[in-house]
Structure 1
Amino acid sequence: MSISFGRMSVQTIVFRISFSLWIPTLYFFRTSIVHAGLVASQEPQRSDGLCSTFVLPYKTYACQEFVAQTSDGFLIGVQRMWRPDIAPRDDDRQPVLLFHGILTGGDVWVLNPPDEALGFIMADAGYDVWIANYRSTAFSYGHLSFARSDKGFWDWSVDQLASEDLPSSLELIYSKTNKKIYLVSYSEGAQATFAAFSQGLCVDLVSKVVLMAPVSYLTSGPQLIDIASTLRLQRIYESLNIYQLSTRSPGGKELVDLLCAKSSIRCYRDWFRVFSGFICCINASRRAFIDQYETQATSVKNLDHYTQQVRLGTFAKFDYGEQGNMALYNLKAPPAYDLSKFPSNRLPVLIISSANDSLANPVDVGHLLREIPAGFMHQAVQNIGHLDFVLGDTSNRVVYDYAMEFLR
């Protein structure tokens, strides 16, 4: 028996994926991939960086590029933006880190106009705004040893975002400011925060936390997650030596086209709904501009970690199989993240979720809220989809007002 999606069977989908992979599938930076000379805290010069592309053209804002180096060799792009006319000195500004989600980059905090994008809104309020771009995103800086075409560059999941990218970003900010940091995490960024903090990592660097559209448990998900879980896409991809998922390559567009099943041949243009489900409030007139920068690549292993959670109903580390788990964890099954150790009983935490979020859906968020210690605040909003949290033109009122009030 074959599983069908529209008129296509699984066998047809696998054949078409295989055929499409003869097309070049790797999406390269416009600048050099491996910056072996860069070290943490350096200020690189990059004409196509986040600062020069999105922030500095407004003239009102100052912006600097930094690099945070992880212990496994990734060079995380971290941008710092502020309003010199509002808070001209470092000691006048409270640092805040904005940590993005899966298949996006740090640009989501500044893609919308200044009155709608959280990065600008926080800078206008006098904050010292830092934006992390974790490994593989276009506004990061590659790896000390691997190029993007290497398998090793893509051998990671949310486990490494929690153990490496988030702590490295926070440590860089603390080294520059000597202040505890407000953390605003979105989507997979929130999931990495839960994973890191439940292990006691970098908690002492943070003084307040806002978690928006918080992913943790995944009983179901949008179209991409559900179909990837059914097809075990990681096995298909790895058999063909493909380790990244990117809609910005010809093969990636073909894959998304297949995942859309009943939609048109050009359905990769509606990646918004394929990856995040319901959307209410993204300005259609800005789609062409947003499509220049999003989506951004993630590892197939990272996507498979999501599908593992759907299949097993757990929030746990990556499953390497019984033999691999014994070697790495000394357990037959991957260990669950112990959310009872999340410090919501001793650290101010605000969680903002939406009843219409297809990825961080109410059932899974409810499961999460029952697991973490009491003491947190929870704000449920209506009629906001997953991507609307960062790209919607109403989020400045529907979502960010709650975050700003909490941080004040």
Structure 2
Amino acid sequence: MLNSLISLCFVTLFCVSAAAASRTKIYSINGHEGKFVSSPPAADGICRSMVQSQGYICHEHTVTTQDGYILSMQRMPKARSGKPADMPPVLLQHGLLMDGITWLLNSPNESLAFILAEKGYDVWIANTRGTKYSLGHTSLSPNDPAYWEWTWDELMAYDVTASVKFVHDQTGQQKLHYVGHSLGTLVAFAAFSQDKLVSMIRSAALLSPIAYLGQMPSQLARSAVDAFLAEDIYWLGLHEFAPRGGAVAKLLEDICQKPGNNCSNLMSSFTGQNCCLNSSRTDIFLEHEPQSTATKNMIHLAQMARKGTIAMYDYGNEDDNMNHYGQPTPPVYNMTKIPKDLPLFLSYGGKDLLSDVKDVKHLLGNLKDHDSDKLVVQYIKDYAHADFVFGIQANRDVYDPMMAFFRLH
């Protein structure tokens, strides 16, 4: 039971990406051996298992990034009635430890991908590297440590860039709407701050927006950060951060046993008290999630939480940073450089312990000169982190206002 709860809470941590095909990992922590076995990716993919089963047409695509990762992508070009999309394309980008199934887990009248398709949008679903259906690479196997040598810097520079360009090109050079949740917002903010992708984007809807993590009030998440949990796993040689594996479960269990850490409800302890989740979907959720990510990626996020900054990965010493960046400290992503005329819809919650209100206000301070008619900020007092993608009321509370924003742009 604890392992299931640990998996669930880590899924929503920064959602605050299963392991390589047909492989077993054995490791030892404090003399205790553990084993993690992952299943091979299903041959039918997300379209058949999650979309076509609901009566929708769905097409599977693959996209290869400049650094060789082969990503899966799904397209929903019609409503369930068969009516073709007559609205612009929308790309959905999931958060950490998740994949594109994020947008399909609830019923069709509650899941954003289905809702958009019914409203006439051409829906595209992205899946980042390392997730179950995006394990391919032109030369590396997920069994190779080098496969997992990346952070969200690379997700921004390669994955989201390749996904946006693919949709743009496949739809006849149409500009697209972008929707991201949590880590899916972080990579977007970073890209926009470098003036990347902007020429292909109509607008961006950023749910549970994360640019800064320094004020994150979750005591358990803070304990994991301060205990260097991800660094410990990395130096044990586990470059893949597998939430269902014993290494992560054991270290988190140790954190839960520390005085002051209440693990009776792990999900709420990490994400905040979500108001509107459908508990009947938990089994379906756990059937598909959580997904793996790179341990190095978790280290990068922990660096952000410790320092309160948004910067590239810190290699820990001036020499290594000089080798990678040509300067002794990692370059900063400057949020004030986001183009002021880029239409942005930001939605955040008062109960969210990951996309914390203070951190969001820090971000909004950097956007204070944004064109007033191009920035909509929505605050939902009772929402926590997972409500924005799994909440049964999100259609009314978030998606309707978001689509109204889309129609303006």
The worse-fitting range, judged by mean Cα deviation, of 348-357 and 217-226 is: 217-226
Native 8 Å contact 2:79 2:118 kept in 1: no
> How many Å apart are 1:220 and its aligned residue?
3.8
- Matching residue's letter, 2:98: T
Counting only pairs closer than 5 Å after superposition, residues 239-278 of structure 1 correspond to structure 2 as 239-261=235-257, 272-273=267-268, 275-278=270-273
Corresponding position of 1:22: 33
- 2: CA distance, partners of 1:17 / 1:359: 31
Counting only pairs closer than 5 Å after superposition, residues 77-116 of structure 1 correspond to structure 2 as 77-84=72-79, 88-89=83-84, 92-116=86-110
Corresponding position of 1:157: 151
- 2: CA distance, partners of 1:98 / 1:21: 40
Distance change (3 Å), C-alpha of 1:142 and 1:252 = farther
Is residue 346 of structure 1 aligned with residue 341 of structure 2? yes
The TM-score with structure 1 as length reference comes to 0.85
Corresponding position of 1:125: 119
- 1: CA distance, partners of 2:82 / 2:321: 50
The TM-score with structure 2 as length reference comes to 0.85
> How many Å apart are 1:228 and its aligned residue?
2.7
Native 8 Å contact 1:272 1:387 kept in 2: no
Unpaired stretches in structure 1, ≥5 consecutive residues: 1-15, 32-45
Is residue 307 of structure 1 aligned with residue 305 of structure 2? no
Greater relative contact order (Cα < 8 A, sep 6+): 2
Which among 44, 54, 60 is matched to residue 58 of structure 1?
54
1:152-185, Cα deviation, whole Å (9 max, x unpaired): 1211111111111111001111111021101111
Distance change (3 Å), C-alpha of 1:200 and 1:233 = same
Native 8 Å contact 2:182 2:355 kept in 1: yes
Aligned pair count reads 371
Corresponding position of 2:230: 234
1:241-264, Cα deviation, whole Å (9 max, x unpaired): 11122222344333443343379x
Distance change (3 Å), C-alpha of 1:57 and 1:21 = farther
Unpaired stretches in structure 2, ≥5 consecutive residues: 1-26
Structure 1 counterpart SS, 2:365: helix
Distance change (3 Å), C-alpha of 1:189 and 1:20 = farther
Corresponding position of 2:293: 298
Distance change (3 Å), C-alpha of 1:282 and 1:139 = farther
Q: Which runs of 4+ in 1 moved over 4 A?
A: 84-90
Q: Identity of counterpart residues, as a percentage?
A: 35
- 2: CA distance, partners of 1:26 / 1:229: 27
> How many Å apart are 1:26 and its aligned residue?
5.8
Structure 2 counterpart SS, 1:62: coil
Native 8 Å contact 1:106 1:139 kept in 2: no
- 2: CA distance, partners of 1:351 / 1:241: 38
Structure 2 counterpart SS, 1:131: strand
Distance change (3 Å), C-alpha of 1:319 and 1:174 = same
- 2: CA distance, partners of 1:323 / 1:248: 35
Corresponding position of 1:174: 168
- Matching residue's letter, 1:66: H
